Structure formats: structure tokens, C-alpha cells
Structure 1
Amino acid sequence: MKVEGEINNFILVWSIAVVSLCYCHTIGKLIPKGPLSTNPSLSLRHFIPIACLPIKIQQNPLSQIGNKENPLSQNGNKENPSLHFFKKGRKSPLNYATKALILAAFVPIYENRGNVHPKLILLLYSFHVYIGLEIAMALVAAGARALLGVELEPQFDEPYLSTSLQDFWGRRWNLMVSNILRPTVYNPVLTRSSAVVGRKWAPIPAMLTTFFVSGVMHELIFYYLGREKPTGELMWFFSFHGVCLAIEVAIKKALKGSKWWLPPIVSRPLTVVFVLSTGVRWFLPSLVWCKADEKARIESIAFVEFLTNVYEALKYVCLHLFYFISAAKHNLG
């Protein structure tokens, strides 16, 4: 009964949301256009998924240029993430298949977690979060491409190749959130700070504020997921990364034009180790605290079982189809 009730609530909530969005889309055609309206206006089949999901349609990616003042991206953001991703092209199915296999390889470890060190489990969770989110968003993008005929902005761009915190947060990790926080938090604080500390150093308080807001939002999200009292670890994680990123940007500004730069072969592992170690220390324990890891573990096992059943079913159908064709050829011969 509990499951049926959850399904009924799910259907009811989404039905109300879709009806409300249909109303908004219709009423928007009847009143004068405001400064935030799109030109031309979106069709209903485009408007609903964009309003419901954390996605954004690519607009003329080849002609886009980056924001001149966005220290959250590498090299002054001379090239925005969308254009960078578009130039590289979409990732191959082999890329996603490999990551799916890696995710499946975690399942036996989860089933025997009692014999595995807790820190190793948390480390696996970090890869699980990244791979799971990227595959999920890739499926959403594929659906949008097939059903709507549009390309979506990328959400991730191989974050394990990051050469700095600036590169990680600005160009490779959860880019949709960066695109949301930039106009709502970063740019307004940047404008106000410029009048106080000058244009050169204004990005520092803007970054600190952006990461503080991100920490607050993550605390709220995890609270609603688990209904557990916030521990403050998420706030500390994002605040700490904001401070470290501000220091990194300040050093880059001070050494501008200097040859003292770490090569990628050194900076990449340093960045990855730093992000993973701080994530295992402060971010991932919150997943355990709100029991999100247990839910993800159960869903991963169910997903692997589903793929196994699909494979067995396809094998059964193909074998019988092969036997049928062979028998038909034999009878005709």
C-alpha cells in the first residue's frame, strides 16, 4: 500500500506541474512580453521539459563566446563550456558503456561492504555519484535529441581531467548549476564588489559568496532527502573550496605572465586527489547521514539485475529467431 500511495502521489504532483506549465505557456501568449521572454517563444513540447528538468538547449554553439569575466572557468573563461564541449563532439557510446561497466563493478563490493573499509566505500560513492549523474543526463539528452530534435547543454566534461579547482568547478563539474549561480549570485556580487575593491579583485568576494550559497542549497537538498538535522559538513566543504579557489585565482593574478605553472601531468592528479579527499571527508558522509547511499545501492543492484534480465531475454529471442530462420531455410531447400 505504501508503494501504491507513493506512485499515486508521484502521478498527482507531476500532473499538477504539467497542467500549471501548460497554463503558464498559454497565458504567456496572451499578455505583453517581458524582458526575460524568449524570442521566438518556445513551443509547448520544448517549454515543459525545459521548465521541469535541469537542462538547457544549446543555442548556436559555434557562434557562442565566453563571458569575459568569469573566474570560475579556466583562463578567464575565454571559451564557455558549451562551445568547448561542442568542439569535442558528443561522447561515444563506448565511453558511456565503459562507465556503466565500472558502475556495475561496484555492486559486488556494495553487497560485501561489511568486509570493506568505510573510507573505500565513500571513495566508490564519489565515482558512483559522478558516473550515475552523467549517464542519467546522457539519457535525458538522447531522449531530447530523439523526441525534440534539440541538443542540450553538457552537464559534465570529464572532471577527472581537471587541471585546477578553477577548471573543475567552472568547466567540468555540474555546469548547469554553474550557469544558474553565475547570473543569480556571482554577477550581482561581482558588480557590487567592483565598487569597493576594484575590478581586479572583485571576483574574490563573488566566488566566496557563490560557494556559500551553494553550500546552503546543498544542506537544504540533503535535509529534504533524509529529513535529518544538517551536520554543517556540506557548508564547510563548499566554503573551504570557495576559499581555496579564491586563493588559487589570487595567485594566478599575482603570477600573471610568469612561467611558474605546473604541467598538466602534475596538476591533474593533485586536483583530483584534493577534490576526492575533501569530498570523502566532508561531502560524502552527508549522503550516508541521509541514507541516500543505501537507496542508491539498492537501485544500482536492481539496475544491474534489470540489464542482466534484458540481456537474457534478448539472447533467448535471438537464438529462437536464428533457429526459426535456419529451419525455414532448411524447409525451403
Structure 2
Amino acid sequence: MDEAMEALRSDLKTLPKLITTVVILVSYARFTSSLLRPGLPRFLSLLPVVSLLPFLPFTFSTIHLRGLSGFLLVWLCITKLLLLSFGCGPLDPSLPLIRFISLSTLPVKLQDHNPHSKSFTAFSPKLLISTAIRAAILAALVSMYRFQEINYYVLLLVYCVYIYLSLELVLSTFAIITSQALGMELEPQFNKPYFTTSLRDFWGRRWNLMVSAILRPSIYEPVKIYFGPKAGVFAVFLTSGLMHELMFYYSTLRKPTGEVTAFFMLHGICVLVEWWWAKYQKWWCPPRAVATLLTLGFVVVTAFWLFFPPLVRGGSDEKMLAEVAAMVALIKDTGQWVIGTGNWDTKHIT
């Protein structure tokens, strides 16, 4: 874990510089877009920002921060800026600067004015308890990687739960902090994916809703207009596969293999098959509980086959878990120092 801790300390020193750089770039994007009408002139004015952002994740040496910054800056931020250049998407140059920066660079989406929708507006005991439970489960899962005798497929199942919990914790933390700091009502990132009843339900209404929200205006709607809704759905899954290949490259620094793209294309085809089947209401459909098990089973099995191998190959998974262990140790030391029950080890930050 010493190597992971050293890499983490180095990245924590780099983080303020990267944040400053991103704030400057996005502020420039807001300023120039406020002066130009949507279209080619605005697109050309944003091109320098769009060209620089893909290089920023490489400033980090840890897998988690490279992958997370790649997701935030390259997938989400660049897509939002491209939509802005043509007057679409969640961004608008009339937004206050802080809100514009937050919506550009963070995985958050303003809450629609729907009184029945959930949002992140305030802390609650239920939210704190659920977050603590997820964090405890995640910590227990991370500790399992030390047991070398664990079955390979059991380990992959652990990784499935790990990815869900870590994503929900990280993305929810971004949303909660942003909503509290800026007073914005934000939509949640996940909607209980373990209750899904179909692949359409899983990908469209439950899993990583921030990605769905950005793929809809950038890919689905334009393709749908010219080629129809089925082509739009397939284009969304193909794009998601290619972007995941890029995110995996940021994380592992290894050449893409196409396996992750194949995973999403397979799921896109299956979603279209579900769509076709659902049109015939008299055809058999499984009970809700059975549909949930079948859907989650299909996601897990295909992930074992195509999604996880690029991450497990080369020991990247062990490096990721070692980084998490280093983060946990750093947080623990920091917490002890704050409450005065431990001795602060200055080597963690120097």
C-alpha cells in the first residue's frame, strides 16, 4: 500500500492546480459563449477548451483520479460544452458563473420542477444512515481483495457491487455538496437499480442517470430525427461503449480491446429486442421478481464476460483496491487528527 499512498499524496498536491486550470477554462467558455450566438462561431470559440480538457486527466498517477477526471472532464464536460455551442443541453451562458462551472464539470443535473421528483436539497438522518451503510459495505468489500484464495467469479461479483457502491457514493457526494453549497435542487444519480425489471428500465431509468441525461440530447435525439428511435437507441449504446473504452484507457493506460464496446452493443441489441417484445401485450412476461433476477443476472454474467476482463487484466484491479485502502487510511488518520484522538502523520501530505 506504500506505493499507492505515495501516488495518492502526489495527486493531492496536483489536484488544486488542476481545479484552477479547469475553472479558468470553463470560465472562458462561459464568457465567450455569452458573446456569440449558437452555431459555428460559438463552436470555434469553445474549441480550445474542448481540445485541452482531454489531456488534463493524465496529470494524475492514481487509477481512480485519472478515471474520475476523465469521466467528469472528457465525457461530461466536453459533451455539455459541445451542446452549448449549438444552444442545447443543460448549460446556458446566462447562468451565474459558479453554477455554470458546477453544472459543466460535476455529474449533477438541475431538478425539473416536479413536486413528486426526488432531489438533493438537504441532509437527513435517512440519507446519512444509508450513506454510512454503503460506505461500511464498500470498506468490507475492499478488504476482501487481500484474500488470494477467493474464487475468481466470486471476486468479479464483489467487483460488481464495488462499482455500484463506489459510483453511488462518489456521485451522490458531489450532488449533496453542490446542492448545499449553491442552493440548487439536483436530481439523484441512481434510482435503485437492484429493483430493475428489464434492461430498458435498468439503463434508461435507474443506472447512472447523469450519463443517460447527457446521452439523450447529444446522441439519441439527433439520430432519432434522421434515422428513427431504434437507430437512436443503438447509437446511444455504441457511444457509451466507445466512451467507456476511453475511460478504461484513462484508468489503466492500456490499449482498448473492444470488449467493453461489445458489452454495450450487446445490451443495446437486447434492449431493442425487449422493445419489440413489449409491443405484443399478449405475449408472456415474467413476474416482477423473476424479471428482476433475470435482468440483474444478465447484466452480471455479461459483465463477467466482457466488462471486467480489461480491468482485471494486468493487475489493474489490485492497484485500484490498494488505492482505496490508501484513501481509507488517509481519511482515518485525518479524522483522528481532527477530533484529537490520534497523532497526525505528516508524511501523508508532504
Q: State the superposition RMSD in angstroms.
A: 3.1
Equivalent residue, structure 2, for 1:18: 23
Alpha-carbon distance, 1:223 to partner: 1.9
DSSP 3-state at the match of 2:21:
helix
DSSP 3-state at the match of 2:211:
helix
Equivalent residue for 2:234, pick from 185, 188, 208:
208
Does 1:237 find its partner at 2:263?
yes
DSSP 3-state at the match of 2:245:
helix
DSSP 3-state at the match of 1:163:
coil
Equivalent residue, structure 1, for 2:144: 109
Within-5 A mapping of 1:28-177: 28-31=33-36, 35-36=87-88, 41-62=94-115, 85-86=118-119, 92-112=127-147, 114-177=148-211
Q: Is the 8 A contact 1:237 1:283 kept in 2?
A: yes
Amino acid corresponding to residue 146 of structure 1 in structure 2: Q
Q: Quote the Cα distance in structure 1 between the aligned partners of 2:330 and 2:128.
A: 19
Amino acid corresponding to residue 260 of structure 2 in structure 1: L
Alpha-carbon distance, 1:234 to partner: 0.5
Q: Quote the Cα distance in structure 1 between the aligned partners of 2:335 and 2:25.
A: 40
DSSP 3-state at the match of 1:61:
coil
Q: 1:52 to 1:38 in 2, by over 3 A?
A: closer
Matched length = 286
Q: Quote the Cα distance in structure 1 between the aligned partners of 2:230 and 2:329.
A: 48
Q: Quote the Cα distance in structure 2 between the aligned partners of 1:96 and 1:191.
A: 41
Alpha-carbon distance, 1:10 to partner: 4.2
- After superposition, the C-alpha distances for 1:3-39 in whole angstroms (9 at most, x for unaligned) are 7775565444332221122233334445567744967
Q: Is the 8 A contact 2:8 2:323 kept in 1?
A: no
- After superposition, the C-alpha distances for 1:47-85 in whole angstroms (9 at most, x for unaligned) are 1121112221213233xxxxxxxxxxxxxxxxxxxx654
More contact order relative to length (CA 8 Å, sep ≥ 6): 2
Equivalent residue, structure 1, for 2:219: 185
Alpha-carbon distance, 1:167 to partner: 0.6
Amino acid corresponding to residue 41 of structure 1 in structure 2: S
Alpha-carbon distance, 1:162 to partner: 0.4
Q: Quote the Cα distance in structure 2 between the aligned partners of 1:218 and 1:153.
A: 23
Q: Is the 8 A contact 1:160 1:272 kept in 2?
A: yes
Q: Is the 8 A contact 1:126 1:276 kept in 2?
A: yes
Alpha-carbon distance, 1:210 to partner: 1.6
Alpha-carbon distance, 1:278 to partner: 0.8
Equivalent residue, structure 2, for 1:80: none
TM-score by length of 1: 0.75
Equivalent residue for 1:247, pick from 266, 273, 291:
273
Does 1:276 find its partner at 2:307?
no
Q: 1:263 to 1:85 in 2, by over 3 A?
A: farther
Q: Is the 8 A contact 1:164 1:267 kept in 2?
A: yes
Q: Is the 8 A contact 2:110 2:187 kept in 1?
A: yes
Q: Is the 8 A contact 1:122 1:285 kept in 2?
A: no
Q: 1:17 to 1:313 in 2, by over 3 A?
A: closer
Within-5 A mapping of 1:292-331: 292-306=316-330, 308-309=332-333
Q: 1:292 to 1:45 in 2, by over 3 A?
A: farther
Q: Percent of aligned pairs with the same residue?
A: 36
Q: Is the 8 A contact 2:204 2:212 kept in 1?
A: yes
Q: Is the 8 A contact 2:107 2:174 kept in 1?
A: no
TM-score by length of 2: 0.72
Amino acid corresponding to residue 225 of structure 2 in structure 1: T
Equivalent residue, structure 2, for 1:222: 248
Q: Is the 8 A contact 1:141 1:151 kept in 2?
A: no
Amino acid corresponding to residue 326 of structure 2 in structure 1: A
Equivalent residue, structure 1, for 2:71: none
Q: Is the 8 A contact 1:228 1:289 kept in 2?
A: no
Farther-moved stretch of structure 1 (230-239 vs 162-171): 230-239
Q: Quote the Cα distance in structure 2 between the aligned partners of 1:242 and 1:133.
A: 22
